[in-house]
Amino acid sequence: MATFGMIEYEQANADVRAIYDDIMATRQVDSVNNFWKAIAHDLVALRRTWESVKQIMAPGALDALTKEMVYLAVSATNQCGYCIASHTAAARKAGMTDAMFAELMAVVGMANESNRLASGYQVEIDERFRTT
């Protein structure tokens, strides 16, 4: 279970509720994930983490779906069970199809394989990659 237990909306004080409200409004959902309830004991961390996530995940040069898939790719590489589950859901909500998921995992798998081949074979960086 979460280390401190989780803070449900009903138990939350006004500051925490305001952040929960912003999460739900921004994401157009009617509840917040356990992740937020678990870190809510530390209001400063809750606010900082949410403000960062909100800013980083907003569509910009990259659209929301691409960002969610990158998030999922990192989580699969790190093998974070919670994050894989929650960001698979988020990516689907943003439009990831089964075919996109399958291709995403294929790239993640291949990158993890070739990363180790490059390191294990001690491949030197090509001269032309060294110049900006």
Q: Yes or no: say if 31 and 24 are a contact pair by the CB < 8 Å rule.
A: yes
Binding residues for a second copy restricted to 40-69, rule: CB under 8 A? 41-42, 44-45, 48-49, 52-53, 55-57, 60-62, 66-67, 69
Interaction between residue 33 and a second copy (CB under 8 A): yes
Total site size for a second copy, rule CB under 8 A: 82
Q: What is the largest CA-CA distance in the chain?
A: 59
Pick from 2, 8, 21, 26 the residue near a second copy by CB under 8 A. 2
Collect all residues with Cβ–Cβ distance below 8 Å to 77 and sequence separation of at least 6: 108, 111, 112
Of 25 and 44, the one with the shorter C-beta distance to a second copy is 44
For residue 9, state whether it binds a second copy (rule: CB under 8 A): no
Our CA angle for 72, 60, 51, nearest 5°, is 70
What the block records as the tokens of 115 is 């990363």
CB of 8 to a second copy, least distance (A): 13
Interface positions, 88-127, toward a second copy (CB under 8 A): 88-89, 97-126
Q: Kindly report the number of other CB atoms within 10 A of residue 114's CB atom.
A: 11
Query: Least CB distance from residue 14 to a second copy, whole Å?
Result: 20
